[in-house]
Structure 1
Amino acid sequence: MKIKMIATDLDGTFLRDNHTYNHRLFKKVFRQLQKRGIRFVAASGSSYPRLKREFAPYVDQMGFVSQNGSVIHLGDKLIQDYPIDSRALARVMHVLDRYYGPRDINQLVVSGPIHSYVDQTMDDHNFKIVKTFYEDVHRVPDIRHIFASSPDEEFTKISINFANHVNLARVAATLDNFLPASLIIENSGFNTDLIGNAHGTKRNGLALLQDYFACAPSEIVTFGDNENDLGMLAMTAQSYAMQNAHQVIRMQAGHVTTADNNHDGVLKTIQQILKNN
């Protein structure tokens, strides 16, 4: 079966738990993909600057679906983004203030296509964690009024990392009742929920690149490990849940990798796919 595009989630999928990957093996696999004309796409809840850093030597030859599909790049070129209406953004902040206090939320991040923002009161420990996933991060006097203080800036995603005592299933149920219909909330793992434009999903982002490169669903391979990957995994029969993924995710994918994310599961699976094709 001909393959034209491979898309993979990062954290918990392509990357090890310590946020690294096998650079030597990836370089070898990437060369094989290029020889066969197969596009490689990184699809993540993280921001584009973080993805660009992770794949610095390959940026010009890759596609990027960042912020769970709210921002799509082809190399350095922005192909599409899905902004949040300022009134909807204000509504999210109001609901968060109503139901959750400082002890419930570790990190609250508001992002545009490139820049991300946190409140100046965020402690250094949490700020360092945010920098890992968003790279280009700035402190502002009051994150809850970022839309009012920056009326000309476009915002595409809100990330909320909740404390361990917060039940994420209840969070989703609560926010679903109050969020505008124009927004979607998705769990991104690590006790983190992402809120953004309802059109900004990994599935829609990958579908955009699919049209761009004229790929049929059967010509796409996808890898994921979490709830926010399900739409992408459902696009093609050539979908792989990671061995380390939750059973629910593994049951909904076409295949399960033999190796987990800490043992190069994605790269080894790609090698096997190329060998079989």
Structure 2
Amino acid sequence: MIATDLDGTFLHDDHTYNQRLFAKVFRQLQKHHIYFVAASGSSYPRLAREFAPYLDQMAFISQNGSVIHQGRQLLQTYPIQAPALARVMHILDRFYGPQDINQLVVSGPQTSYVDQHMDQHNLAIVKTFYERVQPVADLRQLFSDHPQEEFTKISINFADHVDLSRVAATLDQYLPASLIIENSGFNTDLIGDAHGTKRNGLALLQEKFNVADNEIVTFGDNENDLGMLAMTSQSYAMQNAHQVIRMQAGHVTARDNNHDGVLKTIQEILKNNK
């Protein structure tokens, strides 16, 4: 099984990937009965769009592990309970103002919600990562307005002047114990159920497909990938990853994300294991 993060890892900086090379590599993976897993902080609809031609032959760990799919089939969600959701919104209101937060997104397995007053620039960015985005009059009323809907992740993109290390320290003090905060890069923190991690999502797929620990290869570039990278000695931090991430992975790719580092590494792995 091969699992890779997307942004900053598998995808180029312009959110594209080498379609021709991937088609070639994917055929090789299928020939060797190797599952390919996309693991991202983004929503499932975005991942399904990115890999539309391969949708039914892949697995997807979305929202940092809060939502797991095998193809089109939903396998698992880790929803945030309504009181915990309300607590997060209260904490954000207490410590941060509109000048501190560019994008605040509350997501379910399929639909993500934003404030209807979000400017067009930030809305376009959100739609890149979440695909199905619905503006609402008041995010604070979302839970009472949609009592039957599951909410699985809160994403906060902070303005450049905000110190993210201080954000983590502050929120860790006040978040309910049932929640976890992880940095997803690009000045963005994701808050979700503590069980909803990429590591746990990959472990679920590992059990489902009966894959041994030494049969897993992982790729990542950021803090939210560390749990997944720690699962196997065959872990790869991207050449473009922060030094802390590279030090904790088993290997570092020879090429960065803009030069197809994941796909070229997979080709080398397949070549060396013939």
Same fold judged by TM-score > 0.5? yes
State the distance in 2 between where 1:144 and 1:203 align. Answer: 30
2:224 alignment partner, one of 222, 228, 232: 228
State the distance in 2 between where 1:159 and 1:146 align. Answer: 15
State the distance in 1 between where 2:244 and 2:213 align. Answer: 22
Q: Name 2:48's counterpart in structure 1.
A: 52
> What is the CA distance between 1:144 and its match in structure 2?
2.0
2:39 aligned partner, one-letter code: A
Q: Name 2:158's counterpart in structure 1.
A: 162
> What is the CA distance between 1:111 and its match in structure 2?
0.2
State the distance in 1 between where 2:224 and 2:142 align. Answer: 26
- The answer to whether the aligner puts 1:90 opposite 2:79 as a matched pair is no
State the distance in 2 between where 1:17 and 1:232 align. Answer: 22
- The answer to whether the aligner puts 1:208 opposite 2:204 as a matched pair is yes
Root-mean-square deviation (Å): 0.4
SS of 1:72's equivalent in the other structure is: strand
- Equivalences for 1:1-277 in 2 at 5 Å? 5-277=1-273
Cα deviation code 1:147-195 (max 9, x no counterpart): 1111111100000000000000000000000000000000000000000
1:14 aligned partner, one-letter code: F
State the distance in 2 between where 1:222 and 1:53 align. Answer: 22
SS of 2:110's equivalent in the other structure is: coil
Note the residue ranges of structure 2 that are not aligned, 5 or more in a row. none
Cα deviation code 1:223-261 (max 9, x no counterpart): 000000000000000000000000000000000000000
Cα deviation code 1:48-90 (max 9, x no counterpart): 0000000000000000000000000000000000000000000
SS of 1:172's equivalent in the other structure is: helix
Deviating 4+ runs (over 2 angstroms) = none
State the distance in 1 between where 2:50 and 2:244 align. Answer: 29
State the distance in 1 between where 2:212 and 2:174 align. Answer: 37
State the distance in 2 between where 1:39 and 1:202 align. Answer: 16
Identity percentage of aligned residues: 80
State the distance in 1 between where 2:246 and 2:167 align. Answer: 24
Note the residue ranges of structure 1 that are not aligned, 5 or more in a row. none
